[in-house]
């Protein structure tokens, strides 16, 4: 069976592995024909036989390719080949995640923090109007860089655990904890009791991020 990377190398040049996570590995690539740098997210090979993981991966892709907002990283393409290897192609975002910025610089200025907050909340508002809850708002999922005019540009990345409120797929069930403990809302800790998680959970998580940007410390 061909590896996922082997399936992609004809179309993309693999530049480097960015990270690995629960869903799979993330690679920085170059489109050979378009000469454009992008990011590819792959399912871990050992999880390819897990139908639930594959379904969640495709659910992420189907939602992602329909989203078009200046503060959300663009999804370009997704596919599952005959061997069951799944991948999503995303925009490569220039800049650094906020957790890295905090480590390097410490607390941000009020002006920069408000700019990041305005753009982040615009992205969240866009998602929430479409019935999507991100459920993992944290500094490592918020990238900050510069636009063409040199102004701060924030991008929300990784919609991998976003949830459709209408529950079309039923993949996110009661009792499933998604997100990071340090930024999770109280209702996320009561998932086993069947407490629903809605858009307010994202706002709570972003409030913690905002506190951290201004103070350099976690509030809890």
Structure-block tokens of residue 175? 């009792």
Alpha-carbon dihedral sign for residues 134, 183, 210, 214: negative
Q: Which of 78, 82, 72 is nearest to 56 (CA)?
A: 78
DSSP assignment string, 44-64: -GGGTT-HHHHHHHHHHHHHH
Beta-bridged to residue 97, according to DSSP, are 143
Strand segments (E) across the chain: 12-20, 24-31, 36-43, 75-80, 86-91, 96-97, 132-133, 142-146, 152-156, 163-164
**Catalytic annotation, pick one of 50, 136, 147, 158:** 136
Is 140 annotated in the active site? no
Q: Which residues participate in catalysis according to the annotation? A: 136
């Amino acid at each position: 069976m061909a590896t996922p990377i082997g399936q992609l190398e004809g179309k993309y040049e693999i530049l480097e592995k960015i990270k690995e996570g629960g869903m799979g590995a993330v690679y920085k690539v170059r489109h050979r024909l378009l000469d454009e740098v992008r990011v590819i997210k792959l399912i871990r090979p050992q999880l390819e036989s897990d139908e639930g993981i594959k379904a969640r991966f495709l659910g992420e892709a189907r939602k992602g390719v329909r989203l078009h907002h200046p503060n959300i990283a663009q999804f370009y393409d997704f596919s599952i080949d005959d061997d069951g290897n799944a991948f999503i192609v995303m925009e490569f975002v220039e800049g650094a995640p906020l957790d890295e910025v905090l480590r390097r610089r410490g607390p941000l200025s009020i002006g920069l923090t408000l700019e990041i907050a305005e753009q982040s909340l615009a992205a969240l508002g866009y998602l929430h109007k479409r019935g999507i809850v991100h459920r993992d708002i944290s500094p490592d999922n918020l990238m900050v860089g510069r636009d063409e005019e040199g102004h701060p540009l924030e991008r929300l990345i990784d919609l991998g655990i976003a949830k459709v409120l209408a529950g079309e797929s039923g993949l996110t069930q009661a009792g499933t904890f998604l997100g990071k403990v340090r930024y999770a809302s109280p209702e996320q800790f009561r998932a086993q009791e069947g407490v629903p998680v809605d858009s307010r959970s994202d706002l709570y998580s972003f409030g913690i991020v905002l506190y951290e940007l201004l103070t350099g410390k976690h509030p809890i």
